[in-house]
Structure 1
């Protein structure tokens, strides 16, 4: 579906890269309004206030594990173009499987950014030069693909609670961290396990770990 692009949110924790990317996007994509955030939580707060036409997301953020940032932003319904130095085909494939509208390597030239935004405007997914997708018939059925699909069902609050579960926090500690009732946490945990198709917190953590970078890289598969 064609997209009208006037505004963008860049999510990256390197200020100089953010500034350079903003200049590039104004020049090659004609964006009028560009905002920045250096953390996922800061980005989500800004997205709560107003959705831009597109989010340009770095995968490596201080408060993000694996594809969590992409999954949580995509759940809000805004297109996401990932710009990352992690260019292994397995990472790119997982990013696209998780719903990104395109992937541009950080070292790419301006023409790649122009092509990515042209593709987004035309309703196409942008694939980086040299990307080799999985062999036909292998995608969609792996544990990683199923994990990405299920994680995408979580609400923002549920995703945050799962993140804290993965960090080893108990329900009481999660309630304190998020300033909510412990009964509310228990209700969310039940919903999380239902959406992930698991029976325990340990299994939920295993599903979340399938979306980690360690499980995306070829030497670990």
Structure 2
């Protein structure tokens, strides 16, 4: 995989500058652009910006949890490398299960970034040294929050927006008006959402959306791109 351009999504300008220099110095990335919010990043991606890699901080001013990762991965169709200070095993597991091509703790040395980019270039998934996959035992059962994040990651962008509106308590008619689509289209999306989440009712869908341990995975999904 050829990676010569990158989009850094982080709301700290000094860190963006330092990370841009790191990517250029050790990653062979010639062109680096930055965005300080998910909204700005989505505008870049949907505006046709040429990007081979997205480097994403999870803690952005207009998004909570894994929503930024899920939306950018679907919109851009390129690898997403998460760089975050929240580097516990459960977070890393949830990030990788939601489609990230790698995870780097935020204050890692340059050699770690070099290794991550080399791994992604080889179509691999980079995990930091010391990471241990959280075990699912018969006694503890599956981690429901991680499972919810994985299921939510299967939703399309439109379905994610509709689920967020459902979480806000809106009816199909209101959702149709907000998104400028037919009410029958909303109903079809709601049916698909419930099927993907494995639930039988809107209330259960809302509960699934809020099960994740990392705030609300869908918070902000209804914002216009």
Q: TM-score, normalised by structure 1?
A: 0.84
CA contact (8 A) 1:65 1:212 kept: no
Using the TM superposition, give the Cα deviation of residue 192 of structure 1 relative to its aligned residue in structure 2, in angstroms: 1.5
- Structure 1 vs Structure 2 CA RMSD: 2.6
Q: How many residues align?
A: 214
Name the structure with the higher helix share. 1
- Structure 1 residues 165-174 or 61-70, which shifts more? 165-174
Q: Does 1:197 pair with 2:195?
A: no
CA contact (8 A) 1:175 1:182 kept: yes
Tell me the alpha carbon deviations over residues 113-133 of structure 1, each in whole angstroms, 9 at most, x when there is no partner: 111111111222111122222
8 A contact 1:51–1:78 mirrored in 2: no
Cα 1:136–1:212 change in 2 (3 A) is closer
Deviates more, 1:103-112 or 1:188-197: 188-197
Q: 1:29-64: per-residue Cα shift (whole Å, max 9, x none)?
A: 111222222222332232222452111111112222
When residues 168 and 136 of structure 1 are mapped into structure 2, their CA distance, relative to the original with a 3 A threshold, is: closer
Q: 1:144 Cα deviation (Å)? A: 3.3
Q: Which residue of 1 aligns with 2:37?
A: 39
Q: Are residues 1:30 and 2:31 paired?
A: no
Q: In the alignment, what sits opposite 1:53?
A: 52
Q: Which residue of 2 aligns with 1:75?
A: 74
Divergent runs of 4+, >6 A: none
Judging changes above 3 Å, is the alpha-carbon distance between structure 1 residues 176 and 19 closer, same or farther for their aligned structure 2 residues?
A: farther
Residue 137 of structure 1 deviates from its aligned partner by 6.6
Deviation at 1:72, TM superposition (A): 2.1
Note the residue ranges of structure 2 that are not aligned, 5 or more in a row: 218-225
Instruction: Tell me the SS of whatever aligns to 1:35.
Output: strand
Separation in structure 2 between the aligned mates of residue 121 and residue 29 of structure 1, nearest angstrom: 10
Mapping of residues 1-221 of structure 1, within 5 Å: 3-48=1-46, 49-50=48-49, 52-76=51-75, 77-135=77-135, 141-214=142-215
Which SS does the other structure have where 1:112 is aligned?
helix
C-alpha deviation, 1:107, in angstroms: 1.4
Inter-partner Cα distance in structure 2 for 1:215 and 1:157: 17
Whether the 8 Å contact between 1:150 and 1:196 is mirrored in structure 2 is yes
- Rounded to whole Å, the distance in 1 between the matches of 2:29 and 2:95 is 24
Q: How high is the TM-score relative to the length of structure 2? A: 0.82
Tell me the distance in 1 between the aligned counterparts of 2:49 and 2:27: 20
Which runs of 5 or more residues in structure 1 are unaligned?
A: 217-221
Judging changes above 3 Å, is the alpha-carbon distance between structure 1 residues 126 and 94 closer, same or farther for their aligned structure 2 residues? Answer: same
